[in-house]
């Protein structure tokens, strides 16, 4: 019996359906926007509707993606976040990679290609292992002979912490039964962090896997911008390893010791801290980068966002006094004008080296810290508009992107 024309038609429709389904974007379990519930009595910008806040985030995301997301010229389908445009100079760092991977997961749904970019960034991460611990990422890459190659030697703690967190998010967003087992890969990095960036004596964060000779000033140092306290909770939940509870507790102790002893009137954190006489204290002169390592500069500018995110999303109030002091000081110091937030301060609040220029790196993180108190509502609204309406460079723009995701209520936790 010959198949009827109706049978052929049904077969064709079925095949078309299969093709159509295959070309659809991957299913996202938590598509943007998510509107997470934050800690009671915390606030978001209220001069715009939630829909307008989400639209602002989506607009800034498209601008950020256009300016910085880059396909590897040597390997099609691999992606990185371009942090420098100068010819012959390094093009990206692991810190940028972490920012990019976290952003892609949170914006999935708003961007149908987010998973493609995320997976490409994961493969880029795998292609550039650290010489210290190959489960972590080499901290810097450059273009040589038409290829992107690693030019750094070891890892930087913050990049790998964000990458591990992004993979935990990806497991929740897309599941781990596809090409990449996101959950397993996250746990691999979390275990590598435990092995290579935790001080064996102090159970605190080192600055990278290169800090292998504990006991020296630089190897025992720590960087407050790495204090991703909510990440640590996520690591504990995923791995069931109590060491992350210990690290979190010790990290909060460092924050509060520095605050109470060195910045009681400002709440500012230093770029770097060193171990001295039983405590971590602001670096005395140059520890890793320059003579201002003990001041609030380009590293610690991220701390208002990093520390406050834990309070907003989990209610952990161990740094509430420090954050409250920080918010009160910056409001008064800037006369509640975001353009009067300057680009570096000593811990006593004086402007660092006449740095009176503006940079979103310093302005956007105060948007997140201000959210902890409903007395900051008008200040939050001003900071939101400043963050949305300005952009300048990879560093400030990438930090702003993540701060806007948080401030709009879209920073859900795995």
Question: Against a cut of 0.85, is the pTM above it?
Answer: yes
Q: Which residues of 55-90 are buried (b: 16+ CB within 10 A; e: fewer)?
A: bbbbebbeebbebbbbebeeeeebbbbebeeeeeeb
The average confidence (pLDDT) of the chain is 94
Give pLDDT, residue 89: 87
DSSP state of 289: S
Task: Name residues whose C-beta falls within 8 Å of residue 243's C-beta, 6 or more positions apart in sequence.
Answer: 194, 198, 203
| pLDDT tens track for 73-88 | 989 999 999 998 777 7
Instruction: Collapse the DSSP code of 279 into the 3-class scheme (helix H, G, I; strand E, B; otherwise coil) and give the result.
Output: strand
Question: 12 pLDDT exceeds 90?
Answer: no
Task: Please report the domains of the chain, with CATH numbers, ordered by start residue.
Answer: 35-52+61-67+221-414 (1.50.10.10), 72-197 (1.50.10.10)
Distance CA 348, CA 263 (A): 6
Question: 23 pLDDT exceeds 50?
Answer: no
For residue 150, what are its two tokens? 């690693």
Residues 9-18 have a mean pLDDT of 38
The residue count for the chain: 414
For 165-206, what is the HEC assignment?
A: HHHHHHHHHHCCCCCCCHHHHHHHHHHHHHHHCECCCCCCEC
Distances (CA, A) of 11 to 2, 6, 8, 19: 14, 9, 5, 12
Share of the chain above pLDDT 90, in %: 90
Residues 50-78 have a mean pLDDT of 97
Task: Name residues whose C-beta falls within 8 Å of residue 105's C-beta, 6 or more positions apart in sequence.
Answer: 114, 118, 166, 169, 170, 173
- The secondary structure of 63-90 as a DSSP string is HHHHHHEEE-SSSTT-EEE----STTS-
| pLDDT tens track for 395-407 | 999 999 999 999 9
Give pLDDT, residue 274: 97
Q: Which residues of 154-170 are buried (b: 16+ CB within 10 A; e: fewer)?
A: bbbbbbbbbbbbbbbbb
Question: 55 pLDDT exceeds 80?
Answer: yes
Distances (CA, A) of 7 to 16, 228, 244: 14, 60, 61
Task: Please name the residue that has the structure tokens 């509870």.
Answer: 245
Question: 107 pLDDT exceeds 60?
Answer: yes
Assess contact for 272 and 195: CB atoms under 8 A: no
Instruction: Collapse the DSSP code of 298 into the 3-class scheme (helix H, G, I; strand E, B; otherwise coil) and give the result.
Output: coil
What does the CA dihedral 255, 260, 265, 271 come to, rounded to 10 degrees?
Answer: -30
Residues 198-227 have a mean pLDDT of 95
If pLDDT is split at 50, 70 and 90, which confidence band does 26 have?
confident
Task: Name residues whose C-beta falls within 8 Å of residue 195's C-beta, 6 or more positions apart in sequence.
Answer: 133
If pLDDT is split at 50, 70 and 90, which confidence band does 277 have?
very high
Task: Please name the residue that has the structure tokens 């309070």.
Answer: 311
DSSP state of 31: P
| pLDDT tens track for 126-145 | 999 999 999 999 999 999 98
Distances (CA, A) of 215 to 200, 209, 273, 282: 11, 15, 14, 17
Cα four-point dihedral sign 45, 49, 54, 55: negative
Catalytic residue numbers read 95, 158
Assess contact for 362 and 378: CB atoms under 8 A: no
Work out the end-to-end distance of the chain between its first and last CA atoms, rounded to an integer number of angstroms: 57
For residue 33, cis peptide bond before it (omega within 30 degrees of 0): yes
For residue 311, what are its two tokens? 């309070």
Q: Is 402 exposed, middle or buried (0-12, 13-18, 19+ CB in 10 A)?
A: buried
């Amino acid at each position: 019996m010959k198949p009827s024309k109706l049978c052929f038609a049904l077969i064709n429709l079925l095949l078309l359906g299969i093709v159509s389904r295959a070309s659809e974007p991957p299913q996202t379990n938590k598509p943007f926007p998510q509107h997470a519930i934050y800690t009671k009595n915390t606030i978001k910008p209220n001069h715009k509707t939630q829909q307008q806040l989400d639209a602002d985030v989506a607009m800034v995301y498209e601008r950020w993606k256009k300016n910085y997301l880059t396909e590897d010229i040597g390997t099609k389908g691999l992606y990185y976040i371009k942090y420098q445009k100068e010819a012959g100079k390094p093009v990206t760092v692991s810190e940028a990679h972490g920012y990019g991977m976290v952003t892609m997961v949170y914006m999935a749904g708003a961007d149908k290609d987010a998973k493609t970019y995320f997976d490409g960034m994961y493969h880029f991460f795998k292609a550039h292992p650290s010489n210290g611990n190959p489960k972590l990422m080499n901290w810097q890459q450059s273009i040589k002979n038409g290829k992107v190659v690693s030019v750094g030697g070891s890892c930087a703690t913050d990049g790998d912490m964000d990458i591990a967190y992004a993979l935990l998010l990806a497991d929740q967003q897309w599941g781990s039964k596809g090409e990449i087992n996101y959950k397993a890969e996250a746990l691999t990095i979390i275990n590598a962090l435990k092995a290579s960036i935790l001080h064996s004596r102090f159970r605190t964060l080192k600055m990278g896997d290169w800090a292998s000779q504990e006991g020296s000033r630089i190897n025992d140092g720590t960087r407050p911008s790495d204090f991703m306290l909510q990440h640590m909770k996520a690591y504990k939940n995923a791995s069931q390893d109590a060491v992350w509870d210990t690290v979190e507790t010790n990290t909060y102790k460092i924050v509060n010791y520095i605050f109470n002893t060195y910045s009681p009137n400002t709440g500012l954190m230093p770029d770097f801290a060193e171990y001295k006489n039983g405590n971590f204290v602001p670096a005395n002169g140059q520890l890793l980068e320059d003579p201002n390592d003990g001041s609030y500069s380009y590293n610690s500018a991220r701390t208002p966002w990093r520390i406050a995110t834990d309070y907003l999303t989990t209610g952990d109030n161990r740094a509430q006094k420090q954050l409250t002091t920080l918010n009160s000081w910056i409001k008064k110091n800037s006369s509640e004008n975001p353009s009067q937030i300057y680009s570096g301060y000593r811990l006593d609040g004086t402007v660092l080296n006449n740095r009176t220029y503006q940079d979103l790196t310093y302005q956007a993180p105060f948007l997140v810290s201000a959210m902890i108190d409903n007395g900051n509502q008008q200040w939050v609204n001003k900071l939101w508009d400043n963050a949305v309406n300005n952009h300048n460079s990879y560093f400030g723009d990438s930090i702003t992107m993540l701060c806007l995701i948080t401030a709009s209520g879209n920073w859900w936790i795995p």
